[in-house]
Amino acid sequence: MRAISGLWRWRHNPLRRATDLAEAWIALAALLLILAVTPLIGALVGGLAQDALQESVSEQRASRHMVTATVVRKVEGTSLEVDPEAATGREMRTRVVADWTAPDGTAHQGRVMASLDSPRPGDRFPMWTDQRGHTVARPLDSATAATHAVLAGFGAALLTAGLVEGGRRLVVWRMVRRRYARWDQAWDRAGPDWGRTDAGS
């Protein structure tokens, strides 16, 4: 911002170097790019992510089914575990051996996580399976998909802003290095006698 405000002050300043003005214009261009392009890219990426995730939600809802399982016995040595797929992240589950019938009518038995605090044989609980009865994660819901899409768009916007700012800093860094190189050349041309009282006499 200091370089941008300096753009106005340096317009007619006799001490203004061409590189000073160029740096100010580069800063202004970077700011305009960040303000104009970053939101567009964020919205575009967020929209694409939303479409893809909502399609995934539809596919998962079509291919995953909730069935009712019956506890055979609790698996010994297991304690309550936090369900990583729960909406709140606080839902506790217990590992049990259970029976269930798949949507295609086949009977299954196996170790699964039950949403029961103290399961007893005969207790029933819901679980998700595919068409053939294999356990699967619960399907993604629309709200979670929308949240992921917003985060993707926000991340893309931040990445774009970072790239623009990084590009600006790289260009300015190269300009400063060139300026120093020109100063070194000017000092070399001045020669070793520069500054002596009898230089040039």
Residues 46, 156: contact at Cβ < 8 Å?
A: yes
pLDDT, tens digit, 9 for 90 and up, residues 132-160 = 889 998 898 899 999 999 999 999 999 99
- pTM score over 0.75: no
pLDDT, tens digit, 9 for 90 and up, residues 72-90 = 998 876 554 545 455 444 4
Residues 81, 67: contact at Cβ < 8 Å?
A: no
What single-letter amino acid sits at 55?
A: E
Stated length of the chain: 201
Q: Tell me the pLDDT of the chain averaged across its residues.
A: 83
What is the mean pLDDT of the segment spanning 120-130? 91
Angle between helices 142-190 and 18-63 (to 10 degrees): 160
Strand ranges for the chain from DSSP E: 65-74, 81-82, 92-101, 107-114, 124-129
Q: Which residue has the higher pLDDT, 80 or 128?
A: 128
Ranges 11-15, 67-71, 110-114, 183-187: which has the least confidence: 11-15
The dihedral built from the CA positions of residue 81, 85, 90 and 96, taken in this order, carries a sign that is negative
